[in-house]
Chain A
Amino acid sequence: MVAAKKTKKTHESINNRLALVMKSGKYTLGYKTVLKSLRNSKGKLIIIANNCPPLRKSEIEYYAMLAKVGVHHYNGNNVDLGTACGKYFRVCCLSIIDPGDSDIIKTMPSEQ
Chain B
Amino acid sequence: MVKFLKPNKAVILLQGRYAGRKAVILRTFDDGTRDRAYGHCLVAGIKKYPSKVIKKDSAKKTAKKSRVKAFVKLVNYQHLMPTRYTLDVDLKDVVTIDSLQSKDKKVTALKETKKRFEERFKTGKNRYDDYSIILMVG
Contact = CB atoms under 8 A, between A and B. Distances in A.
Interface of A: 35-36, 39-41, 43-44, 59, 63, 65-69
Q: Which residue, B4, B30, B39, B78, has most C-beta atoms of chain A within 10 A?
A: B4
Contact of A67 (B4, B39, B77, B78): B4
B4 A44 contact: no
A63 B82 contact: yes
Nearest to B9: A66
Contacts of A41: 1-4
A59 B78 CA distance: 13
A98 to B, nearest CB: 12
A43 B1 contact: yes
Interface of B: 1-5, 30, 39, 77-78, 81-82, 84
Nearest to B81: A59
Q: Which residue, A35, A41, A43, A59, has most C-beta atoms of chain B within 10 A?
A: A41
A40 B81 CA distance: 14
A39 B5 contact: yes
Given A39-B39, A40-B39, A68 B82 contact: no
Contacts of A43: 1
Q: Which residue, B39, B81, B82, has most C-beta atoms of chain A within 10 A?
A: B82
Contact of A66 (B39, B77, B84): B84
Q: Which residue, B1, B30, B77, B81, has most C-beta atoms of chain A within 10 A?
A: B1
